[in-house]
Amino acid sequence: MAALEQLPKAELHLHIEGTLEPELALELAQRNGVALPYASLEELKGKYQFTNLQSFLDLYYELMGTLKTAQDFRDLALAYFAKVSTQGVRHAEIFFDPQVHVANGLDVNMVMDGLLEGMHIAKERYGITSGLILSIVRDMPLETAQSVIDSVKNRASDILGIGLDSAEVGYPPHLFTKQFQEAKALGWHRVAHAGEEGPASYVIDALDNLHAERIDHGIHSVTDPELLKRLASERIPLTTCPLSNRRLQVVGSLDELPLRNMMDQGVLINVNSDDPAYFGGYIADNYKALSEIGFTLSELASFAEHSIDASFIGDDQRRTLRQQLDEWKTKHSSLLKA
């Protein structure tokens, strides 16, 4: 639906490595002399069927090994921004996984330089603003997380925030309290994956010990009525990812997602794509998928409004984006009333 693609929105839950399409992965592998165990593009595409989070992560980390140079990271970022420039994205806050790149022998500063160059070009080319969120890979050794934080402290202003991602169960948020405290001292915002495969208690943990300003995924919060009340009263946004939840078998179907339940209880929901190259769609595809299971255009517009309000942008830019959203609502007023 064209209206959904034109709907002004922010993307707040996007792993830039998760935008690595199989075609680009093979191109980078050839460019950098990386041997992948796939005889063809079709064989590689056949691996994009997942039974759980770990089965996805195995392929995700394998293909990340094709990224070797600043040019690779710039090209990766630009490919993402080119796609979402036609899907209404006005601002994006993107995760990157420096621990994995360092483990692959790369300099974290080189990684950041490439991504930041792509982000700068995207702002000039498409008018999309963006920020980098350094995401801790929770199932890698804790000292590697501390090491990458230490290595970029001298350029703290290049980073918007700190996040926490990867295999959730068995790695509760409080294990990373020290790193999040340091991030706060550096002026970084704080977000954390919690309540995707992990229980609602992980969401509480992230709020109490990491002082997370947003919760990424968070759909298992629905099992704890008191937590839902807290999320609503404290206006803690959830950056939900419908197609991701379905592809990783977190839910059996999109109809099982508790988004309307949480929304009806005042929880601030926004919609994102997570790892779109792997999960079958970019941000507009996620909005479209929700429209196909009964969410109205007015409800989808509220998700876009929440994304703007939940983003870590300045007041002037927020007013500008809210004005663009109001103009979209005026243009599509007849559809919103339907």
- Catalytic positions are 196
Q: Is 113 annotated as a binding residue?
A: no
Q: Is 217 annotated as a binding residue?
A: no
- Cα(178)–Cα(210) distance, integer angstroms: 9
Question: What token pair was written down for 223?
Answer: 């099992």
Q: Is 274 annotated as a binding residue?
A: yes
Q: Is 275 annotated as a binding residue?
A: yes
Q: Which H, E and C letters describe the chain, residue by residue? A: CHHHHHCCEEEEEEEHHHHCCHHHHHHHHHHHCCCCCCCCHHHHHCCCCCCCHHHHHHHHHHHHCCCCCHHHHHHHHHHHHHHHCCCCEEEEEEEECHHHHHHCCCCHHHHHHHHHHHHHHHHHHHCCEEEEEEEEECCCCHHHHHHHHHHHHHHHHHCCEEEEECCCCCCCHHHHHHHHHHHHHCCCEEEEEECCCCCHHHHHHHHHHCCCCEEEECHHHHHCHHHHHHHHHCCCCEEECHHHHHHCCCCCCHHHCCHHHHHHCCCCEEECCECHHHHCCCHHHHHHHHHHCCCCHHHHHHHHHHHHHHCCCCHHHHHHHHHHHHHHHHHCHHHHHC
Report in angstroms the alpha-carbon separations of 169 from 2, 179, 234, 285: 39, 19, 25, 28
Q: Is 193 annotated as a binding residue?
A: yes
- Cα(139)–Cα(151) distance, integer angstroms: 20
Compute the half-sphere exposure of residue 249: CA atoms within 13 Å on the CB side of its CA. Answer: 8
Binding-site residue positions: 13, 15, 193, 274-275
Binding-site residue positions for Zn(2+): 13, 15, 193, 274
Binding-site residue positions for substrate: 275
